[in-house]
Chain A
Amino acid sequence: MTHYSAILIVPADLLDKANRLGAALGHGPESYTVPLGDGETVTHYGSRSRVQPIFIATLSAAGAVPVEELDRLGIDPAMVQAGGEVVSGLDLEGHGLTEADLQAVIAGLVWGFEPEGSVDPAQHFAQVASTLTEPGPTVAV
């Protein structure tokens, strides 16, 4: 099974909802633990994990990742249908979430995927974190 290095970053004000969504997806209670900011204020929290293609397809079905990205990564776009079934089967209420919460997290998500082994995990994380533009240069605090 091919794995991918996945970098996911969420705005700090969505941290709790993003972690709840991660739990609803079966990934445990605390997915985002790396604080990011301008050295004084934490604006985002990041996460690095290794995921299977279905995870990326699920985010695609939820509207976060365009199908072109799946194509670039060599993931069968047909897998998006299976990802859609994962999204529709989410127990949002059971994790204290609403459909609006789901959409808010998806809209605020900053992501990056590369095949596992093709990039150093720490460098991958730094690369994706560097794309954050607000409110200033991003460094781990």
Chain B
Amino acid sequence: MTNMPTIYKDAGGIGALPGDNVRMVLDTNGLELGSAKTLTRVTVVNGAINNGDGTYTLPNSDSEVRFNFGTSFENKFYQIEIEIVSTPGTGTLYSDIADTETFARSAATAGVWRYMGRRGPSYHFVDFRHTGAEGIVIKAPVVRELPGIHADQPSTALQPVLVDQGNGYTALRFDGVDDKLPQVYPEAKTGDLLICGRNGSWIDRDVSVAAGGSLSVISGKDSPKTPGIAPALGDIVGHLHAPRTLNDYEIAKLTEYWQERGAKGLLVPSGVELVTNGGFDNDISGWTDNGGNVSWSNGTLKVETQKIGDKGGYQDVVLSEPGYYLLSGLAENSGNGRAAFFRINTTDWVNIVGTQEVLSGESSTVAAVAYASGTVRITCDIGDLTGAGKVGHFDNVSLQKLVIQ
């Protein structure tokens, strides 16, 4: 019955099986259970019986026993161990934590059940009910904190699915629309995020999370720093958010570890540059004005316009084969504009398949990934809602196919 070593947890906080939605992912990095939490008060209602020997009887489906374990577990994860001493053999034992039902399993057999939960900000108890046949007897639970940075997604629609790879290992399948598993960081961390998928692995450099902030390794189709990368990675086999910059040797060893578990190697730009004159060294030849009054300015493409809407310059690129392509570049948004955009478009300007933006007043090197084929349009635009005037500069614009290193 013990299933805590399984790192993927279903809606009930116990081990997920292939085909199940995954609600929680246990952080096993240096995992050690905390000491047992002292139960401060026990409440029995609707006929539940305190047998006086550490056991409790739930004689009917309305009866309930509640164990208070103090306030220090706020927003922390923990393991609850509950022993079913005897059972009539049918029915379901329910456990409520906070105001959501996190555990519901048939109590057809006696024994010890362990599951993982997270306490919300307003509740500090766990309670047990039993439906169906009468007379289940349980012992007081043992509650221990689970240190680590665990992931939890309480909303069903946003949960990924556990899939069997057929090689003895499982992976997480995100739907590419809204699935994400946020991890809440008790302490701030900045470092490289390595994500290893069945189709390829990827590194986001210098990912920062503030103390109390959250990180979703995959959110929809995006990683924290690379919009559109998730479909290129496929099902996620594993990930690591390092506390610093990883060197080449460390990256090689880490990807090797997950490759042995079904992941593919690191995705990198092919080295074949597809954008013509993306460095704007001497002029802006190869780029077409899209109402942005574009010009050359000190080795950059300058956009300066007072028109409403997204305006700038573009270049059409013919791709020799379909695949995942990395668009990157430097954007300096000098103000007044809504945002500076890099985009991979179809040439009819309807289907934006990859985009990245730099907010007004900011300058940043950005990247986005998109699956593309045929002729695509690379645009460097600044958006404006008011027509009040906007200025921006673009440099080092690059489009390269992603290949396995």
Q: Which residues of A contact B (CB under 8 A)?
A: 8, 22, 26-34, 40, 46-50, 120-122, 125, 137, 139
How many residues of B are counted as interface, with CB atoms below 8 angstroms from the partner's CB atoms?
A: 21
Q: When A26-B101, A29-B154, A139-B352 are in contact, do A50 and B21 touch as well, CB less than 8 Å?
A: yes
Is the contact region of chain B dominated by helix, strand, or loop, or is it mixed? Answer: loop
**Is B385 at the interface (CB under 8 A from chain A)?**
yes
20 A–B contacts from the bound complex (CB under 8 Å): A8-B157, A22-B155, A22-B157, A28-B153, A28-B158, A31-B156, A31-B157, A31-B158, A32-B157, A46-B177, A47-B178, A48-B177, A48-B179, A49-B156, A49-B158, A50-B21, A50-B175, A121-B176, A125-B177, A139-B352
Contact of B178 among A28, A40, A48 (CB under 8 A): A48
Q: When A33-B178, A121-B175, A125-B177 are in contact, do A50 and B161 touch as well, CB less than 8 Å?
A: yes
Determine if B175 and A31 form an interchain contact, defined as CB atoms under 8 angstroms apart: no
Determine if A34 and B177 form an interchain contact, defined as CB atoms under 8 angstroms apart: yes
Q: With a CB–CB cut-off of 8 A, which chain B residues contact A40? A: 385
Contact of B155 among A28, A34, A120, A122 (CB under 8 A): A28
For the complex, what is the distance from the CA of A47 to the CA of B158, rounded to whole Å?
8
Among all A-B residue pairs, the 6 with the closest Cβ atoms: A28-B155, A49-B157, A48-B177, A121-B175, A27-B156, A28-B154
**Is B117 at the interface (CB under 8 A from chain A)?**
no
For the complex, what is the distance from the CA of A6 to the CA of B177, rounded to whole Å?
12
**Is B221 at the interface (CB under 8 A from chain A)?**
yes
Q: With a CB–CB cut-off of 8 A, which chain B residues contact A50? A: 21, 161, 175
**Is B220 at the interface (CB under 8 A from chain A)?**
yes
Q: Give min CB distance, A4 to chain B, whole Å.
A: 13
Could you mark each residue 211-247 of chain B with 1 if its beta carbon is under 8 Å from any beta carbon of chain A, else 0? 0000000001100000000010000000000000000
Q: When A34-B220, A40-B385 are in contact, do A122 and B175 touch as well, CB less than 8 Å?
A: yes
**Which single residue of chain B is at the shortest CB-CB distance from A125?**
B177
For the complex, what is the distance from the CA of A97 to the CA of B165, rounded to whole Å?
43
For the complex, what is the distance from the CA of A28 to the CA of B158, rounded to whole Å?
9
Determine if A27 and B175 form an interchain contact, defined as CB atoms under 8 angstroms apart: no
Q: Give min CB distance, A55 to chain B, whole Å.
A: 9
For the complex, what is the distance from the CA of A34 to the CA of B155, rounded to whole Å?
14
**Which single residue of chain A is at the shortest CB-CB distance from B177?**
A48
Q: With a CB–CB cut-off of 8 A, which chain A residues contact B221? A: 122
Contact of A30 among B21, B155, B220 (CB under 8 A): B155
Determine if B385 and A27 form an interchain contact, defined as CB atoms under 8 angstroms apart: no
**Which single residue of chain A is at the shortest CB-CB distance from B21?**
A50
**Which single residue of chain A is at the shortest CB-CB distance from B156?**
A27
For the complex, what is the distance from the CA of A31 to the CA of B159, rounded to whole Å?
10
Given contacts A27-B155, A48-B175, A48-B177, 5 further A-B contacts (CB under 8 A): A27-B157, A48-B178, A49-B158, A50-B161, A121-B176
Q: With a CB–CB cut-off of 8 A, which chain B residues contact A8? A: 157
